Amino acid sequence: MNLSDPRTIRELLAKSGFSFKKSLGQNFLIDPDVCPRMAQAACDSETGVLEIGPGIGVLTAELARRAKKVTAIELDERLKTVLPHTLADFGNIEIIYGDVMKLDLKQLLREKFADCEKIAVCANLPYYITSPIVMMLLESRLPVNKITVMVQKEAAERLCAEIGTRAAGAVSVAVRYYASPELLFTVGRESFMPAPNVDSAVIRLSVRQTPPVILRDEKAFFRLVKACFAQRRKTLLNTVSNTTGIRKEELRVALAALSLPETVRGEELTLEQLAALSDQLSITR
Ligand code: SAM
């Protein structure tokens, strides 16, 4: 069955009375080149793959062809009548119906992939929940080597932005703390059914085994990073003192200790400088 063919998809979905739900980010891929490219970038025959949101299974099938096994989590139970049919040819796929944000993924990966050398995540993520899913995957410190996901193009650029550039935000710093990001390729809106109003891109996050900076207090670091980017036009001194309880005088002392000017903006700092500032503040507080 050609799961990239719009006519096949329409017939298949009509049979089970399925209609697309925008609220679930249901834009299914119809470009036959995209899923093989994503699957190739995501896994090999030693890998157990966790897929989020299989839809009708177009990416799931490509993953199953290349990976050792695939476990896919789908929120929409209406697909229960579709997926067993579309993925009938594969013996290495398991579908779990549930919300990826509510499942115990650590436990699930342990259970499903005990016999796999590597574990990867691959997904065409629903737009409405892209960054929360990416951050949840990174922050839960899952035993995952690579995360290859399609997201809105602007989100991809932000997630992969170099720290210290204008394109970066708090989320770019968080991503670089946990992983090495790469933007692999862009995908036009016409590659989906129904076509969304935005273009997409596939990114790959290679999860770090050890963080690039050693922090005194990780929570304090992320609070500082969030504050640094909260009011981008303001200096770090102003935005951090406005959005946290840290006094300007304390910040002045910490900036001086790191030879940073009082006029510096949060977005100008490197990961190492942000880490050093966070550590410096935790010493003086
Ligand atoms: N993988 C398919 C493809 O590429 O054509 C479908 C991708 S579609 C962009 C996103 C999928 O995620 C939909 O099937 C949707 O029902 C599912 N989904 C949405 N929210 C979810 C959640 N919280 N947990 C698991 N799946 C979810």
**Lookup: tokens for 179:** 């992983």
Write down which residue in 207, 242, 257 finishes a domain: 207
pTM of the model: 0.95
User: How close is the Cα of 184 to the center of ligand 1, in Å?
Assistant: 21
**Is 268 close to ligand 1, i.e. is its CB under 6 Å away?**
no
| Residue 73, pLDDT score | 98
Whether 99 is in the pocket of ligand 1, judged by its Cβ within 6 Å, is yes
Residue 63 and residue 96 in one domain:
yes
- The response to whether residue 266 sits with its C-beta less than 6 Å from ligand 1 reads no
- How many domains, in total, are found in the chain? 2
Q: Residue 213: inside a domain, yes or no?
A: no
Same domain for 262 and 203: no
Domain boundary among 154, 183, 207: 207
- Residue range of the domain that includes 75: 6-207
Does residue 190 sit in the same domain as residue 116? Answer: yes
Tell me the backbone φ, ψ of residue 141, rounded to 5 degrees: 50, 55
CATH number of the domain to which 68 belongs: 3.40.50.150
Substitution candidate for ligand 1 out of 22, 74, 108 with most atoms within 8 A of CB:
74
Examine the domain organization and report whether 161 and 225 are in the same domain: no
Please provide the DSSP assignment of the chain as one string: --TT-HHHHHHHHHHTT----GGGT--EE--TTHHHHHHHHH--TTEEEEEE--TTSHHHHHHHHHSSEEEEEES-GGGGGTHHHHTTT-SSEEEEES-TTTS-HHHHHHHH-TT-SEEEEEEE--GGGHHHHHHHHHHTT-S-SEEEEEEEHHHHHHHHPPTTSTT--HHHHHHHHHEEEEEEEEE-GGGEES--SS-EEEEEEEE-SS-SS--S-HHHHHHHHHHHTTSTTS-HHHHHHHHSS--HHHHHHHHHHTT--TT--GGG--HHHHHHHHHHHHHH-
Q: Note if the bond before 194 is cis, omega within 30 degrees.
A: yes
The single-letter code of the amino acid at 183 is L
Mutation pick for ligand 1 pocket among 10, 19, 24, 49 (CB with most ligand atoms within 8 Å): 24
pLDDT in tens, the chain (285 residues): 899 999 999 999 998 889 999 999 999 999 999 999 999 999 999 999 999 999 999 999 999 999 999 999 999 999 999 999 999 999 999 999 999 999 999 999 999 999 999 999 999 999 999 999 999 999 999 999 999 999 999 999 999 999 999 999 999 999 999 999 999 999 999 999 999 999 999 999 999 999 999 999 999 999 999 999 999 889 999 999 999 989 999 999 999 999 999 999 999 999 999 999 999 998 665
The token duo for 260 is 């940073």
CB 185 within 8 A of CB 37: yes
Q: Does some domain include residue 1?
A: no
pLDDT, tens only, 237-252: 999 999 998 999 999 9
Residues 117 and 237 in one domain: no
142 and 75 housed in the same domain: yes
Task: Report pLDDT for 285.
Answer: 57
